Amino acid sequence: DQQVKQNSPSLSVQEGRISILNCDYTNSMFDYFLWYKKYPAEGPTFLISISSIKDKNEDGRFTVFLNKSAKHLSLHIVPSQPGDSAVYFCAASAWGGSARQLTFGSGTQLTVLP
């Protein structure tokens, strides 16, 4: 049973427009959420995060929104650039036994068209 779900496997957006990537979670113990970006044959790199006590965090072109009641978060990229084309993973963090664990979604392939 997936605790973190990214229901859109792919998304195409025109350059300059907004990209919105969505993520849903089921475990109410998650208290920290992260977005990672991944290029083919490379490891994911951290992009932006948000604590469960906040509903918005902004870093340049990237904004993450958290709706705790809906157990939903989204990543907004404005304006989208061709270099943003990558797989984006949503991750959620909670204490699992003796260590904090990250649970990842299945990823969304973003393609920004020039």
Partner 1 sequence: DGGITQSPKYLFRKEGQNVTLSCEQNLNHDAMYWYRQDPGQGLRLIYYSQIVNDFQKGDIAEGYSVSREKKESFPLTVTSAQKNPTAFYLCASSIVGRLNTEAFFGQGTRLTVV
Count of Cβ atoms closer than 10 Å to residue 30 Cβ:
21
d(CA 25, CA 111): 24
Whether the upstream peptide bond of residue 40 has omega within 30° of 0, thus cis, is no
Does residue 102 bind partner 1 (CB under 8 A)? Answer: yes
Does residue 98 bind partner 1 (CB under 8 A)? Answer: yes
**Minimal distance, residue 63 CB to partner 1, in Å:** 17
Closer to partner 1 by Cβ: residue 41 or 70: 41
In sequence order, the 6+-apart residues with CB closer than 8 A to the CB of 67 are 55, 73
11: tokens are: 């998304």
Region near partner 1 per CB under 8 A, out of 13-21, 40-48, 67-75, 78-86: 40-48
Does residue 29 bind partner 1 (CB under 8 A)? Answer: no
Does residue 56 bind partner 1 (CB under 8 A)? Answer: no
d(CA 28, CA 71): 8
Residues that bind partner 1 (CB under 8 A): 2, 4, 6, 9, 31-32, 34, 36, 41-46, 49, 51, 89, 91, 93, 97-107
